[in-house]
Structure 1
């Protein structure tokens, strides 16, 4: 069976999960433990980043390379068009989605945690006492931005990411309101990439991710809850309904014992 070495909330891991589900391939998720688990991943694949796919003796890293491999090895329900122009458009859009929605979405998500105390506390399990939520919510955003700036996640980076994402979502909303998929009448790697990479902008509402119930459907303020972008997220959720398998095991989360959920983002 295919093995997907992943972080559950990695957008790029989700990209591969969606592709695997779209193609109807059975696979086993292997959650990589930050630190020691990444050293093991390095021994297997030569790098520490997820996702990594293992198919028998074959090991593939990088979400784009995994997508190409899956389309070659398992050609049923192809995701890369044969037509030269559509193929070119698909590959350009997939690369753009990785660098824009993927990278900027991660920055905007961390920025929302830093700058919006309500969003920050809403990500905590309901079992966390109110007094602790109040303490965490009271930490000034400027303080968190100061520390975030040291790793490229400060206030200026967040503003840049949010501005770019608003432009992206406006364009994507216009496209999906006029045709069923980004490149026409059939889903491609472009659709699956854009849909999966958007999970940090707004978590899908169904049992697609192994996250606590209270996080499902929650989004970044100003992006995930903006009515102007609702058609895009409705389109994204339709793709999930049509192609993504629901896990049905979301009860097995780190938050179930009342402790805070660790969010690992590669």
Structure 2
């Protein structure tokens, strides 16, 4: 069986999960422990980032490289068109999504966590002790904003990211007003990239991610709840309903030198 080394909350991991589900491929999720687990990911793949896909003895890092591999090895339900124009458009939109939505939504999420105490505590795993939730929820917004300077999410950077995402979401909403997919009449890598990378803007409401129930359907205030972007999020809901499989919490724990450490996500 295919093995996906991942973070459950990783947008790029979600992009790959969507692709695997679309192709109907069975796979096992292996949740990597941040820090120590990434050292083992490096031993496995030569780099520290997830997602990493393992297919027998073949190891592929990077969500885009995984898409190309899946189309070569499992050609049914191709992700990338072969015709020149749709292929070029698909690859361009996927690259744009990686560098725009993928990067900006992480900064915008930090701003959302700073603004909303309930949203902040909802992001924590359900196994988090109540006392920890209370402490996290009580951290003043001003302190979180100060911490943002150290992680590339200062108030100015958060505002710039949120403003850019408003333009991105408006553009996507307009494109999808009367079209079923971003490129042509079937889903492509562009659709799964845009849908997967947008999960930090608004988490899917269905049983797709191993996250607390009170986080499902929630998102960044001002973006996730803006009716101007309804056509985009309605499109994403349909894409998930048609192709995304219900999440499984099955993971593998390993202490061997060639596999990342696994944790259970509630």
- TM-score, normalization by structure 1: 0.89
**TM-fit CA distance, 1:117:** 2.8
1:63 to 2:54 alignment: no
1:204-242: CA deviations, max 9, x gaps? Answer: 111100112111111110111111111111100100000
Match of 2:227 in 1: 227
Match of 1:238 in 2: 238
Match of 2:41 in 1: 41
SS of the residue corresponding to residue 211 of structure 1 reads coil
Aligned 8 A contact 1:93 1:190 in 2: yes
Distance 1:246 1:134 in 2: 31
Match of 2:158 in 1: 158
Q: Which has the higher contact order (CA 8 A, sep 6+)?
A: 2
Aligned 8 A contact 2:109 2:200 in 1: yes
**Which piece of structure 1 moves more, 215-224 or 240-249?**
240-249
SS of the residue corresponding to residue 3 of structure 2 reads strand
Match of 2:258 in 1: none
Please tell me the root mean square deviation across aligned C-alpha atoms, in Å. Answer: 2.1
**TM-fit CA distance, 1:253:** 6.5
Match of 1:92 in 2: 92
Structure 2 segments unaligned to the other structure (5+ residues): 251-262
Aligned 8 A contact 1:71 1:79 in 2: yes
1:19-49: CA deviations, max 9, x gaps? Answer: 0000001111111011111111100101111
Counterparts of 1:71-82 in structure 2, within 5 Å, are: 71-82=71-82
**TM-fit CA distance, 1:145:** 1.4
Note closer, same or farther for the CA distance 1:41–1:133 as it changes in structure 2 (3 Å cut): closer
Counterparts of 1:94-109 in structure 2, within 5 Å, are: 94-109=94-109
1:188 to 2:192 alignment: no
**TM-fit CA distance, 1:18:** 0.3
**TM-fit CA distance, 1:184:** 2.3
Distance 1:32 1:248 in 2: 15
Counterparts of 1:122-141 in structure 2, within 5 Å, are: 122-123=122-123, 136-141=136-141
How many residue pairs were aligned? 253
- TM-score, normalization by structure 2: 0.89
Distance 2:122 2:54 in 1: 36
Distance 1:126 1:7 in 2: 16
SS of the residue corresponding to residue 192 of structure 2 reads helix
Distance 2:54 2:23 in 1: 17
SS of the residue corresponding to residue 222 of structure 1 reads coil
Match of 1:178 in 2: 178
SS of the residue corresponding to residue 54 of structure 2 reads strand
